[in-house]
């Protein structure tokens, strides 16, 4: 199954190595799911993750870039040919939705479930990382 990871999951994993976000990202690659990525989302990951307020103390810029490059190497790369904007209140979320639709992803993993209201019409479910880990049998 294909999944798209919202930027807030990456930020949560950078801030703490103990939560569901960090556990999810440590699983990659995993035969139970395939991470999908587009060029715009890749650049958003870099932009947001490199902000000083999002960095775990002691984590260098090079370590963050290396982690994102690793995720990129493990991801299915999807080009976006059709825009659904404006569909969601935040254009950054529209970018995530467009990737999910184009890649035929089943899930968008995010903490902002309410920001993705209505995506069910595309056959996509917004899900928190812990709930996704339960779905794939990683957690009970």
pLDDT tens for each residue of 78-96? 999 988 788 998 888 999 9
Given this model, what pLDDT does residue 14 score?
87
The domain that holds 31 is classified in CATH as 3.40.50.1010
Given this model, what pLDDT does residue 21 score?
97
pTM for this predicted structure: 0.94
Average pLDDT over residues 92-121: 96
Q: Does residue 62 lie within any of the structural domains?
A: yes
What confidence tens digit (pLDDT) does each residue in 24-39 have?
A: 999 999 999 999 999 9
| Non-local CB neighbours of 31 within 8 Å, separated by 6+ positions | none
Residues facing 99 on adjacent strands: none
The more confidently predicted of residues 88 and 107 is 107
Q: Does residue 72 lie within any of the structural domains?
A: yes
pLDDT above 80 for 19: yes
Q: Does residue 56 lie within any of the structural domains?
A: yes
Q: Does residue 82 lie within any of the structural domains?
A: yes
Residue numbers of the domain that contains 85:
2-135
Query: Among 119, 37, 126, 106, which residue's Cα sits nearest to residue 76?
Result: 37
Distances (CA, A) of 101 to 7, 74, 94: 17, 19, 10
* For helices 20-27 and 7-15, angle between their N-to-C axes, nearest 10 degrees: 110
Q: Does residue 140 lie within any of the structural domains?
A: no
Q: How many domains does the chain have?
A: 1
Q: Residue 58 — left, alpha, or beta (φ > 0 → left; ψ -120 to 50 → alpha)? A: left
pLDDT above 90 for 109: yes
Structural contact between residues 109 and 9, judged by C-beta atoms closer than 8 angstroms: yes
pLDDT above 80 for 56: no
């Amino acid at each position: 199954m294909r999944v798209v990871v919202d930027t807030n999951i990456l930020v949560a994993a950078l801030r703490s190595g103990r939560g569901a976000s960090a556990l999810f990202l440590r699983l990659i690659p995993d035969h139970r799911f395939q991470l999908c990525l587009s060029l715009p989302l890749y650049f958003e990951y870099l932009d947001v993750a490199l902000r000083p307020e999002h960095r775990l103390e002691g984590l260098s810029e090079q370590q963050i870039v290396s982690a994102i490059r690793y995720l990129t190497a493990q991801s299915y790369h999807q080009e976006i040919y059709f825009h659904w904007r404006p569909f969601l209140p935040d254009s950054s979320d529209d970018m995530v939705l467009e990737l999910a639709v184009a890649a035929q992803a089943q899930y968008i993993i995010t903490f902002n479930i309410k920001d993705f209201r209505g995506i069910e019409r595309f056959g996509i479910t917004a899900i928190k990382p812990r709930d996704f880990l339960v779905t794939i049998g990683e957690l009970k």
